[in-house]
């Protein structure tokens, strides 16, 4: 039996139109004469989706009992018996009710496919197994229903149902996705614009990668090695030289010329790790690649052109960008075609760009005569020449004959090569001249004279010197590479150890001091600031101090127990630079900590003085005037006027008491001494007293409490003060005939209280300002308090380990969201996401 085909409609989020598109496709196939049946469709109460099911045959759902509840599931057995050509199966990641034939709906789909039935299904990006944790990080909502990646990748067709994030939010606001009471919570939580943008990008990237994998699989299956230019992929070859920045920018421009172009940088390292490359330059170029939205790769290969072309083919590259050769004409004439010419020859259908740069074609320069060999090896080379020459002469003298001259020459040539391998160029030149003179004196007619009669004898001596120089150069270069490799490996290991120490939480300065002592094999290291010891390692003693290095203007690094070699000064300079940076960072942190409370105190002090001079003066003056009037009038004041003065004094003193209480609360919050009773609190038991306190009725406030049995971990008294403050503001700024809306819901492990008004709202750039104490966002009405209400509300909520955030109300206005830790009655998904 031929296996059925699976088509999956993939969406970035609920509401993008996956189910609608599935039904639309089903109606089209039905009109073409295909046998199409609805296996199961979840409309979620959406009228447009329900309308699309009209006219499509459907398999009745199966009822499954579980713990006294009847659950509806797809009737797989009936669908297999019906055996349509195409089955429409919604929500591929759905978990079936206990007692069903399969645990997961995708397992039901596997049976349908095995039976030869084509299936069209739907899935959201958050239900893909490999992306589940990424989506949770973006949205904060865990998803317990997932589909294995291999199941999805086995689909014959995957199609993204794309909808712009703002268009989806508009659909949500219009009531096309969720009921009205859930719209505000959904817009402010899962359906935030940033969330939707990230999920959309994730879906498109996943599909693009899947297309790439499918393309690679097809090419491998059909043995296709040539490049398919589905999109531009530009590979830039980096050598570790300064020209890399020029090459990267040129490659980036080439990739940008085509939509969806991709930039990749690659550096080929030799298997022995000795090929010269500046690690600092490579690090800077890697950072530039990331800024240009490219990717960096490092490949090990002995033959650079071959490794580069193989990498380009493996990533299906269409363009290769190389720097023009640094070799001059003289070098190129003797060493043959360079890397660029070889890559051009082997690249086949990959376009190669040779980019000129300032280092291209530089002149040939002789290597310096001062090599990398140690003095000990040079002395040993002279000793081999001085001892080996006489010994070889003594040995060859026993076999001297006119026919042995060739053997004699080769023997002395071997001696010169051995001396070159041991001691480098100067001992080799010495051995070459000495052996040439010895040959001429003892083995070339006329004997016992140093006189060159034939030109070829002079040429032989010159060849001796040339061979000695070339062998010495190779030995010196190998020694230089070996030393550089060992040095680089040691420095890299040291820096890696320091970085690891800091990442593991160790003090950066102490870690640097410890590693400095270990790197230079010192008895002790001490970092001093005057007479103060900042950090120390080992046993620093005054009588064995050899080196002092200044760190900045005030610190000194003391090295005890040995002198630092000249070759290690560069590494010591790196260590001292890192110490200087760490000390400066420590100083800045200390200064910032010292200044922050002073600055905050100054701000509060200035605002407090301003508040005392304005806001407190009014009720105090009113109360004093009322009491003064009562005292002046005495018994002559009639009862009505007396009552009016008493009411004025009472109102003013009550307002004054409220202001003083707010000031005391601000002081407690700033000093961290506010007492918090962290107990399970039902939001309904807080909202109702707040409404009574403000004397707000059904015409002023509408309620939508959807938190179920969940309770918040909070202080009920402080939470009530927060709700009162927010309701006061919302009622004050709402239009006269429009009530304030109060709703509750759960999101993740938090319980949210939303207070929604339809007032003018607050611009996004000024939302942080409304929580600053002693201001009212430009409000000049001094009768409304000190401007502490929102500052206190946020402080109270944060003291209860929650958050208070302002958001836009869809259609205009401001929504204040109180999010508090929740105690859930049982684990479950708090937000429907299908």
SS3 179: coil
Residue 39 bridge partners (DSSP)? none
Assign 239 a pLDDT band (cuts: 50, 70, 90). Answer: confident
Mean pLDDT for 333-343 is 66
Q: For the chain, report the end-to-end CA distance as a whole number of angstroms.
A: 34
Tokens of 280: 């600092």
Cα separation, 208 vs 185, in Å, equals: 32
Cβ neighbours around 672 below 10 Å, total: 7
Q: What is the pLDDT, as a whole number, of residue 297?
A: 85
**Which residues, at least 6 apart from 339, have a Cβ–Cβ distance to it below 8 Å?**
304, 305, 308, 322, 325
Assign 830 a pLDDT band (cuts: 50, 70, 90). Answer: very low
Please state at what angle helix 716-733 crosses helix 789-799, rounded to 10 degrees: 150
**Tokens 């039905």 — which residue?**
30
Angstrom CA distances, 424 to 276, 321, 427, 557, stand at 21, 40, 6, 38
Q: What is the pLDDT, as a whole number, of residue 663?
A: 60
CA proximity to 651, closest of 625, 676, 612: 625
Whether the pLDDT of residue 468 is over 70: the answer is no
Which segment of 17-21, 468-472, 666-670 scores lowest on mean pLDDT? 666-670
Residues of the chain with CATH 3.40.50.300: 6-221
Q: What is the pLDDT, as a whole number, of residue 163?
A: 83
* Enclosing H/E stretch for 751: strand 750-756
| Runs of H (alpha helix) within 62-155 | 76-82, 105-114, 132-139, 149-153
Mean pLDDT for 701-706 is 89
Pairing of β 524-529 and β 62-66: unpaired
Residue percentage of the chain with pLDDT more than 90: 12
Cα separation, 311 vs 235, in Å, equals: 9
Domain 6-221 matching CATH 3.30.70.1560: the answer reads no
Angstrom CA distances, 177 to 1, 104, 654, 754, stand at 41, 25, 49, 20
3-state secondary structure 130-173: HHHHHHHHHHCCCCCCCECHHHHHCCCEEEEECCCHHHHHHHHH
Whether the pLDDT of residue 503 is over 90: the answer is no
Assign 79 a pLDDT band (cuts: 50, 70, 90). Answer: very high
Assign 780 a pLDDT band (cuts: 50, 70, 90). Answer: very low
CA proximity to 761, closest of 816, 704, 817: 816
**Tokens 């006489």 — which residue?**
390
Gyration radius (Cα) of the chain, Å = 42
Cα separation, 539 vs 527, in Å, equals: 13
Whether the pLDDT of residue 460 is over 90: the answer is no
Mean pLDDT for 431-437 is 79
More confident residue, 8 or 615: 8
Q: What is the pLDDT, as a whole number, of residue 384?
A: 87
**Tokens 């973006």 — which residue?**
138
Mean pLDDT for 161-183 is 79
Mean pLDDT for 806-833 is 73
Give residue-wise pLDDT tens across range 704-726. Answer: 888 888 899 888 888 888 898 89
Give residue-wise pLDDT tens across range 260-317. Answer: 678 899 888 765 544 556 667 787 888 888 878 888 888 777 778 888 888 888 787 8
Cα separation, 744 vs 185, in Å, equals: 9
CA proximity to 323, closest of 235, 246, 261, 254: 246
- How distant is the alpha carbon of residue 566 from its chain centre? 40
Q: Output the CA torsion 826→830→833→834 (10° steps).
A: 50
Angstrom CA distances, 818 to 329, 402, 678, 802, stand at 74, 109, 16, 7
Give residue-wise pLDDT tens across range 513-523. Answer: 877 777 777 77
More confident residue, 745 or 764: 745
Whether the pLDDT of residue 695 is over 50: the answer is yes
**pLDDT winner (highest mean) among 304-308, 609-613, 616-620, 641-645:** 304-308
Q: What is the pLDDT, as a whole number, of residue 369?
A: 44
Whether the pLDDT of residue 23 is over 90: the answer is yes
Mean pLDDT for 758-774 is 78
Q: What is the pLDDT, as a whole number, of residue 833?
A: 40
Whether the pLDDT of residue 16 is over 50: the answer is yes
Domain 233-355 matching CATH 3.40.50.620: the answer reads yes
Tokens of 67: 């713990």
Q: Mean pLDDT in the chain? A: 77
Cα separation, 800 vs 676, in Å, equals: 7
SS3 262: strand
Mean pLDDT for 488-492 is 64
Q: What is the pLDDT, as a whole number, of residue 790?
A: 79
Assign 754 a pLDDT band (cuts: 50, 70, 90). Answer: very high
Whether the pLDDT of residue 406 is over 90: the answer is no
From the options 3.90.420.10, 3.30.565.10, 3.40.50.300, 3.30.590.10, give the CATH code of 679-823: 3.30.565.10
Q: What is the pLDDT, as a whole number, of residue 792?
A: 73
Cβ neighbours around 109 below 10 Å, total: 26
Assign 89 a pLDDT band (cuts: 50, 70, 90). Answer: very high
Residue 339 bridge partners (DSSP)? none
Cα separation, 88 vs 105, in Å, equals: 12
Q: What is the pLDDT, as a whole number, of residue 577?
A: 76
**Tokens 């003594």 — which residue?**
394
Which segment of 382-391, 699-708, 763-772, 786-795 scores lowest on mean pLDDT? 786-795
Q: What is the pLDDT, as a whole number, of residue 606?
A: 54
Residue 298 bridge partners (DSSP)? 267
Mean pLDDT for 424-430 is 78
Mean pLDDT for 728-741 is 87
Assign 253 a pLDDT band (cuts: 50, 70, 90). Answer: confident
Q: Are 522 and 559 in contact (CB under 8 A)?
A: yes
Angstrom CA distances, 675 to 3, 799, 801, 804, stand at 68, 9, 13, 19
Length of the chain: 834
**Which residues, at least 6 apart from 176, have a Cβ–Cβ distance to it below 8 Å?**
15, 46, 48
**Which residues, at least 6 apart from 599, have a Cβ–Cβ distance to it below 8 Å?**
none
**Tokens 């997961």 — which residue?**
104
Cα separation, 524 vs 536, in Å, equals: 7
Residues of the chain with CATH 3.40.50.620: 233-355
Which segment of 36-45, 215-224, 226-235, 663-672 scores lowest on mean pLDDT? 215-224
Q: Are 679 and 711 in contact (CB under 8 A)?
A: no
Q: What is the pLDDT, as a whole number, of residue 418?
A: 85
Cα separation, 534 vs 340, in Å, equals: 54
Cα separation, 104 vs 146, in Å, equals: 9
Mean pLDDT for 763-771 is 78
Q: Are 724 and 694 in contact (CB under 8 A)?
A: yes
Mean pLDDT for 543-566 is 72
- How distant is the alpha carbon of residue 259 from its chain centre? 25
**pLDDT winner (highest mean) among 222-226, 268-272, 473-477:** 473-477
SS3 347: coil
Which segment of 265-274, 293-302, 731-740, 823-832 scores lowest on mean pLDDT? 823-832
Tokens of 187: 């817009």
Cβ neighbours around 138 below 10 Å, total: 19
CA proximity to 212, closest of 151, 146, 260: 260
Q: What is the pLDDT, as a whole number, of residue 834?
A: 41
More confident residue, 105 or 341: 105
Which segment of 10-19, 153-162, 371-380 scores lowest on mean pLDDT? 371-380
Q: What is the pLDDT, as a whole number, of residue 671?
A: 54
Q: What is the pLDDT, as a whole number, of residue 672?
A: 56
Mean pLDDT for 61-68 is 78
Give residue-wise pLDDT tens across range 358-381. Answer: 655 544 444 444 455 677 878 888
Q: Are 806 and 770 in contact (CB under 8 A)?
A: yes
Whether the pLDDT of residue 791 is over 80: the answer is no
Whether the pLDDT of residue 212 is over 80: the answer is no
Q: What is the pLDDT, as a whole number, of residue 364?
A: 40
């Amino acid at each position: 039996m031929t296996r059925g085909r699976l088509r999956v409609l993939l969406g970035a989020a609920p509401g993008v139109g996956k189910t609608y598109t599935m039904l639309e496709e089903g109606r089209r196939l039905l009109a073409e004469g295909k046998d199409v049946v609805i296996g199961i469709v979840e409309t979620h109460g959406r009228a447009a989706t329900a309308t699309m099911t009209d006219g499509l045959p459907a398999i009745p759902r199966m009822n499954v009992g579980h713990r006294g509840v009847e659950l509806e599931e797809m009737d797989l057995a009936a669908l297999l018996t019906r055996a349509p050509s195409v089955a429409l199966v919604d929500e591929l990641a759905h978990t079936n009710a206990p007692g069903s034939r399969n645990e997961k709906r995708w397992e039901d789909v596997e049976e349908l496919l095995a039976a030869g039935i084509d299936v069209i299904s739907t899935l959201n990006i958050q239900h893909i197994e490999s992306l589940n944790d990424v989506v949770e990080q973006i949205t904060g909502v865990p998803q317990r229903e997932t589909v294995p990646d291999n199941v999805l990748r086995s689909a014959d067709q995957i199609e993204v149902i794309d909808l712009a994030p703002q268009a989806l939010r508009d659909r949500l606001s219009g009531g096309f996705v969720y009921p009205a009471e859930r719209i505000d919570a959904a817009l402010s939580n899962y359906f935030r614009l940033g969330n939707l943008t990230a999920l959309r990008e994730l879906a498109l990237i996943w599909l693009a990668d899947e297309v790439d994998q499918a393309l690679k699989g097809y090419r491998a299956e059909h043995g296709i090695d040539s490049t398919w230019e589905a999109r531009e992929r530009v590979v830039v070859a980096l050598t570790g030289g300064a020209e890399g920045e020029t090459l990267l920018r040129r490659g980036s421009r080439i990739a940008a010329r085509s939509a969806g172009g991709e930039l990749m940088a690659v550096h080929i390292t030799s298997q022995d790790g000795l090929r010269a490359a500046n690690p600092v330059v490579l690090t800077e170029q890697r950072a530039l690649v990331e800024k240009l939205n490219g990717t960096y790769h490092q490949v090990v290969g002995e033959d650079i052109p071959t490794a580069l072309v193989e990498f380009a083919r493996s990533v299906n590259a269409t363009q290769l960008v190389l720097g023009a050769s640094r070799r001059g004409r003289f070098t190129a004439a003797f060493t043959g075609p360079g890397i660029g010419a070889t890559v051009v020859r082997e690249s086949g259908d990959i376009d190669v760009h040779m980019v000129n740069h300032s280092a291209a074609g530089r002149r040939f320069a002789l290597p310096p005569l001062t090599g990398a060999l140690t003095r000990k090896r040079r002395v040993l080379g002279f000793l081999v020449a001085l001892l080996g020459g006489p010994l070889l002469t003594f040995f060859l003298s026993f076999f001297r004959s006119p026919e042995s001259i060739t053997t004699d020459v080769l023997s002395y040539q071997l001696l010169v090569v051995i001396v070159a391998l041991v001691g480098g160029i100067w001992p080799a030149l010495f051995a070459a001249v000495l052996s040439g003179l010895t040959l001429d004196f003892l083995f070339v007619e006329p004997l016992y004279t140093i006189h060159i009669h034939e030109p070829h004898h002079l040429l032989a001596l010159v060849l001796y010197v040339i061979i000695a120089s070339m062998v010495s150069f190779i030995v010196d270069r190998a020694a230089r590479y070996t030393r550089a490799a060992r040095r680089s490996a040691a420095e890299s290991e040291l820096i890696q150890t320091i970085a690891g120490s800091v990442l593991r939480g160790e003090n950066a300065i102490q870690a640097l001091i410890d590693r400095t002592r270990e790197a230079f094999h010192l008895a002790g290291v001490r970092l001093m600031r005057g007479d103060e010891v900042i950090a120390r390692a080992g046993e620093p003693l005054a009588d064995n101090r050899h080196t002092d290095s200044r760190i900045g203007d005030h610190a000194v690094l003391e090295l005890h127990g040995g002198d630092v070699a000249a070759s290690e000064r560069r590494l010591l300079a790196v260590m001292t630079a890192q110490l200087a940076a760490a000390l400066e960072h420590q100083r800045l942190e200390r200064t910032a900590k010292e200044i922050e409370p002073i600055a905050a105190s100054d701000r509060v002090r200035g605002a407090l003085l301003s508040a005392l001079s304005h806001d407190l003066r009014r009720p105090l003056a009113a109360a004093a005037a009322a009491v003064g009037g009562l005292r002046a009038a005495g018994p002559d004041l009639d009862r009505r006027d007396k009552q009016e003065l008493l009411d004025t004094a009472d109102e003013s003193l009550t307002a004054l008491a409220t202001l003083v209480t707010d000031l005391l609360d601000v002081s407690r919050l700033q000093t961290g001494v506010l007492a918090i009773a962290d107990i399970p609190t039902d939001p309904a038991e807080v909202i109702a007293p707040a409404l009574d306190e403000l004397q707000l009725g059904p015409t002023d406030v509408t309620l939508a409490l959807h938190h179920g049995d969940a309770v918040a971990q909070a202080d009920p008294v402080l939470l009530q003060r927060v709700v009162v403050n927010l309701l006061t503001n919302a009622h004050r700024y709402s239009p006269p005939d429009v009530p304030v809306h109060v709703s509750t819901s759960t999101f993740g492990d938090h319980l949210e209280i939303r207070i929604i008004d339809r007032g003018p709202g607050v611009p996004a750039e000024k939302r942080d300002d409304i929580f600053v104490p002693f201001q009212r966002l430009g409000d000049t009405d001094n009768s409304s308090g000190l401007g502490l209400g929102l500052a206190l509300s946020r402080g109270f909520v944060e003291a209860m380990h929650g958050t208070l955030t302002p958001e836009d109300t869809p259609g205009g206005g401001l929504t204040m969201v109180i999010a508090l830790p929740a105690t859930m009655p049982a684990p479950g998904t708090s937000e429907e996401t299908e």
